[in-house]
Structure 1
Amino acid sequence: MIMQVYIVYMGSLPTGQYSPLSKHFSLLQEVVEAVCRNSLLRSYKRSFNGFAAKLTDLERQKLASKKEVVSVFPSKTYHLHTTRSWDFIGLSGTVERNAAAESNVIVGFIDTGIWPESESFNDEGFGPPPKKWKGESRSLELDITQHQMKVRLQGRYRSWKPYCLNGSRQQSKGCQFLWNCSRYCKRGVPSARIAAYKACYPDGCEDASILAAFDDAIADGVDIISISLGSNLPDADFSHDAVAIGAFHAMEKGILTSQSAGNSGPDKATVASIAPWILSVAASSTDRQIIDKGIGINGFSLNGTTFPLVDGKNVVASECSDSSVGCLNSTLVKGKIVLCNKPQGDDGASSAGAVGSILKNEPFEYDASIFLLPASSLSADRHDIVASYINSTKEPQATILKSEAVKDRNAPKLLHILHVGEYLCTRNIEA
């Protein structure tokens, strides 16, 4: 019996006496074949009507035939988009502000969640949340007792912390990228309130979680919903599009949803956000280049110091056949830079105590990785040159330089896309 997660969308919440959760259970009991199976995963009952459940294809068909059901569709995975629009369009951080008016605006971010301990979210100078806020308002001290940070973030946030998240970058006023980037990201309205809703994890953003975030954000009373994620291709059937569904019910409550249009251009028909009730903003491509001798983003510096350089195949532990994690001889590797014959060799080098690693990026010729220690990922021919140097030199030495971010003068124009009713308006802004 093959099951997968489906979204069962039932439209707006009925008025009067109505229990969404009871109705959802009742529908499932009518169609689920295994009586003891717990199929219900999420129930959407605050701002619109529907639920997510594990179903077989036959159960999906039965539910789709119910008169109460608008649509049943598989929960898809969306992916995060880029977050550099403010710098790209030249927004100044010193423009004149109206702090009182901005402080009354609540922006709901549907993203990876945030790193609330960051100083970027310091609440100094902020008063209590606006009275229109209906969600949770709590001090971060309740969750992070070691940090004396007071109410700055209102909402159902959960922290996921590989230092500087997409969500933290989108929402903060100065979260610096740990590995490189040496540039600070900006928020367009730094005095606005933030409600952070975690719907994305390292492997993507599921429809089921996205709809749950919309369900909460609308009911909590946000003014604007910002969602910088999407699919590679648009879905013309809006009743099968989780973002379009959530944004429609937000619009009914007077809440604007701003969604990134996608990163799949410049080919035609690559805008992924096409619902006419969504403000679709093109992310365009980045206006930076990461300069490195190889393919990758190295945020670590060895300060120009050279270290002994060894070939990984010559320092493998006796019980192993290759240089996988745990298979390098730490005695022969510690304090040295290791040449690895595969793209993921930094794991093994780091575990063995190496100070750095030089990797072979085959077959991922154009994929830039982020490393666990000072590292550079080289093409096959450059990797062979390093191997030849090791074999022909008595005491080979090397150092690894930190990557640098530079302005890409060949960056394209930023195209802003705005839906107005049924019309699509475009405006070019010089990068």
Structure 2
Amino acid sequence: MGGVLTDLRPDYQKKKLQEMEGVVSVLPNTVLKLHTTRSWEFLGLTDSHVGGSYGGDIIIGVIDTGIWPESESFRDEDFGPPPAKWNGQCQTENNFTCNNKIIGARFYNSENNYVSDIKSPRDSDGHGSHTASTAAGRGVAGASYYGLAEGVARGGVPSARIAVYKVCWAIGCALADVLAAFDDAIADGVDIISVSLGSDFPSPYFEDPIAIGSFHAMKNGILTSNSAGNDGPFQRSVANNSPWSLTVAASTIDRKFVSKVVLGNGQIFVGTAINNFDLNGTSFPLIWGGDAANISFGASPEFARVCFPGSLSSIKLEGKIVLCDVLSHGSAILYANGLGAIMISPVYDFAFSYPVPVTVINSADGAKIMDYIKSTDNPIANILVGETLKDVMAPRAVSFSSRGPNPLTPDILKPDLTAPGVDILAAWSPLSSPSIYVYDSRRVAYNIVSGTSMSCPHATGAAAYVKATHPTWSPAAIKSALMTTAMIMDPRKNKDAEFAYGSGHLNPVKAVDPGLVFDASESDYVDFLCKQGYNTTTLRLVTGDSSVCSSTKPGKAWDLNYPSFSLSIPDGQHIMGIFTRTVTNVGSSNSTYYSTVDAPSYLSIKVEPSILAFSAIGENKSFTVKVYGPQIVQEPIISAAIQWTDGVHVVRTPLVVHSVLPTYPSMPRTNMLPPDDLNIYHKNGIMRGILGGN
């Protein structure tokens, strides 16, 4: 491609570039944000399933902030050379080295901004090391966060190889870099791609670099595992909605981290926190944030009560524990010489790490502590070292996990499934503090972090486990196996039901023997895009090839061979939808599957035929699902399910019905944000979905 662009207007440049030969699409180089062990045992994928050299030929491509190669999680003892299919490279700038575990590493920085980072694939943030080790880290005995969660930390497939593509820096993850990383990962020969990043606002598929990159990966037989985003619990907040990729929500595991507060009057309150600070049983003065206002800064008590950075007076707060009326910045207390903080939040189903002793309590307990402060001349308190408790309610969809329905294509259910994403222990970069605060001098080899960034690599590891067992399966078949075998979640614990957890909770062991799979190819997704209103020109912006829309007549997504069903009904209309599906037998050669339907009495769901008889592995059978029901208005979600069983396998597909506006609004994604996992959200005070605002 040649030519010089003398007119610097963006619109002119874009038009001229699009006219040049070989250009598929032209997008602004905006930035995306990062979506940030007992967990594998909780999923049932124990060492007995993945021990030894199991999965050693599987290569997982991790598009993230890089990796810390010296971590114990990435040692390569007993590893042979990389598989013959590997075509990648290792960029060794600034003393970075690969081995037979980390077999490839590249970095990209189209913005040429290396502030507070290293010009190499080395991870200075921690996020990339955490996600890579969650998916495929070696087993490390005695790993912990200052003694919390102590045990063996390992990834889903410890013998899998890792290829690293560093696209995220201090300024974020540039679109051009993400696309380049996808291209390189595909050419390098990876088997699964893990992408724990995304954007805040939905955009058309041809403007979404992850949708475009994962489409190209799918064409080359590679499944992309994506994070669903951390903008819950709001509906239509789910990110990464393309049907050819796997979108993963976050849920809890059966442990939680707490820290107790002891008041001077003997009252004890239990809050959530990852707190390693030991105050040696000593109580310290306790003050309400509103009484510690920094008048010189212009802060009023109303402003200081939320403990915003700069709002607290160091003279008033020094040596004291402060009560903050909201979930707040640890840096605010650190900057004001405070000793610790008690923070109030209506939602606290996961824990943060802070640079000072902190615990997060509910509003009712906060009111009691406030009453104590007001009624006592010299209130005192102590924050105890963190503890680990069993969470008997797990798994539950966590509050921050982004919810459906799919804002782009409401007739495709998103997220696809849920996986552990709360309080996950995994490898960390020693260049980054565990709390992400600049002035936090602590350094750890393993950190406890929450986010859909953490659930995504769990699904990546499970996909690698299935791929190692069935190396010839397509991305759609692997995705189908993970979805149809997912564990049923309890809707009583999750009011958003399938819009919170999709098909259910990840179950890797079941996924290797799903019985039936819903397969799909590039042509199926092309047909889907054409029905979504793409013409041949816009279609090629996604596919990057010579695909053609034979018809541009708009249509529903009901016929895409997807392992779930979503029926969006305009407000005020009766429920009516007809879906067609085809399943491929991957179980027993001679098997007969019988269908059952679980649905509310007012919903009529007919499966035709209701019995599928197979005589060979690889045989295909089609069926139709007809859904009818009453008129609905403002209906958030109606849950149902279809189940096929041959007496050995259970193939379950959720079916949801929900109302939409008569004309479903388009929601263009107009801005891409800098890298953000939940810790950075908290640091910057964004916390959308946690505090309910910006």
* TM-score by shorter chain over 0.5: yes
1:77–1:290: structure 2 CA closer, same or farther, 3 Å change rule? Answer: farther
1:129 to 69, 82, 91: 82
1:346–1:269: structure 2 CA closer, same or farther, 3 Å change rule? Answer: closer
> Over residues 264-315 of structure 1, what are the superposed CA-to-partner deviations in whole Å (9 max), with x where a residue is unaligned?
7997996844344x4x264453345746568753333437724213314545
Partners in 2 of 1:265 and 1:393 — Cα distance? 38
Q: Provide structure 1 residue ranges, at least 5 long, that are not aligned to the other structure.
A: 1-22, 35-54
1:76–1:300: structure 2 CA closer, same or farther, 3 Å change rule? Answer: same
**Secondary structure in 2 aligned to 1:59?**
helix
Partners in 2 of 1:351 and 1:67 — Cα distance? 56
Q: CA deviation at 1:190?
A: 1.0
Partners in 1 of 2:204 and 2:61 — Cα distance? 25
Check whether the contact 1:225–1:255 (CA below 8 A) recurs between aligned residues: no
Aligned partner of 1:298: which letter? I
**Secondary structure in 1 aligned to 2:86?**
coil
Partners in 2 of 1:389 and 1:216 — Cα distance? 60
1:388–1:171: structure 2 CA closer, same or farther, 3 Å change rule? Answer: same
1:294–1:233: structure 2 CA closer, same or farther, 3 Å change rule? Answer: farther
1:71–1:190: structure 2 CA closer, same or farther, 3 Å change rule? Answer: same
- Structure 2 counterpart of 1:390: 373
1:114–1:168: structure 2 CA closer, same or farther, 3 Å change rule? Answer: farther
- Structure 2 counterpart of 1:117: 70
Aligned partner of 2:66: which letter? G
1:86–1:208: structure 2 CA closer, same or farther, 3 Å change rule? Answer: farther
Partners in 1 of 2:37 and 2:223 — Cα distance? 16
Check whether the contact 1:375–1:400 (CA below 8 A) recurs between aligned residues: yes
TM-score by length of structure 2 reads: 0.45
**Residue 158 in 1 paired to residue 122 in 2?**
yes
Partners in 1 of 2:151 and 2:34 — Cα distance? 20
- Structure 1 counterpart of 2:11: 57
The equivalences for 1:6-45 within 5 A come to: 23=1, 26-27=2-3, 29-30=4-5, 32-34=6-8
Q: CA deviation at 1:84?
A: 9.4
**Residue 240 in 1 paired to residue 194 in 2?**
no
Q: CA deviation at 1:259?
A: 1.6
1:326–1:346: structure 2 CA closer, same or farther, 3 Å change rule? Answer: same
- Structure 2 counterpart of 1:13: none
The equivalences for 1:333-372 within 5 A come to: 333-341=317-325, 343-361=327-345, 369-372=352-355
Name whichever of 55-64 and 178-187 sits farther off. 178-187
Partners in 2 of 1:71 and 1:141 — Cα distance? 34
Check whether the contact 1:358–1:375 (CA below 8 A) recurs between aligned residues: yes
**Secondary structure in 1 aligned to 2:102?**
coil
Check whether the contact 2:61–2:190 (CA below 8 A) recurs between aligned residues: yes
Partners in 2 of 1:269 and 1:349 — Cα distance? 32
Partners in 2 of 1:204 and 1:286 — Cα distance? 27
1:75–1:182: structure 2 CA closer, same or farther, 3 Å change rule? Answer: farther
- Structure 2 counterpart of 1:298: 274
- Structure 2 counterpart of 1:170: 135
Q: CA deviation at 1:191?
A: 1.2
Q: CA deviation at 1:135?
A: 2.9
Q: Provide structure 2 residue ranges, at least 5 long, that are not aligned to the other structure.
A: 107-120, 259-268, 397-488, 490-503, 512-516, 525-560, 565-650, 654-694
- Structure 2 counterpart of 1:51: none
Partners in 2 of 1:62 and 1:302 — Cα distance? 63
Q: CA deviation at 1:257?
A: 2.5
Partners in 1 of 2:339 and 2:59 — Cα distance? 46
TM-score by length of structure 1 reads: 0.67
The equivalences for 1:14-413 within 5 A come to: 23=1, 26-27=2-3, 29-30=4-5, 32-34=6-8, 56-66=10-20, 68-75=22-29, 78-80=32-34, 86-87=40-41, 89-95=43-49, 97=51, 99=53, 102-137=55-90, 142-143=95-96, 152-154=101-103, 155-156=105-106, 157-162=121-126, 165-173=130-138, 178=145, 186-201=154-169, 205-230=173-198, 237=205, 239-251=206-218, 254-260=220-226, 262=228, 272-276=240-244, 278=245, 280=246, 282-283=248-249, 285-288=251-254, 290=256, 292=258, 297-302=273-278, 305-311=281-287, 312-315=289-292, 319-322=296-299, 325=309, 330=314, 333-341=317-325, 343-361=327-345, 369-378=352-361, 382-401=365-384, 402=386, 404=388, 406-407=390-391, 408-409=393-394, 411=396, 412=489, 413=504
Higher relative contact order (CA 8 A, sep 6+): 2
Partners in 1 of 2:342 and 2:321 — Cα distance? 7
1:345–1:66: structure 2 CA closer, same or farther, 3 Å change rule? Answer: closer
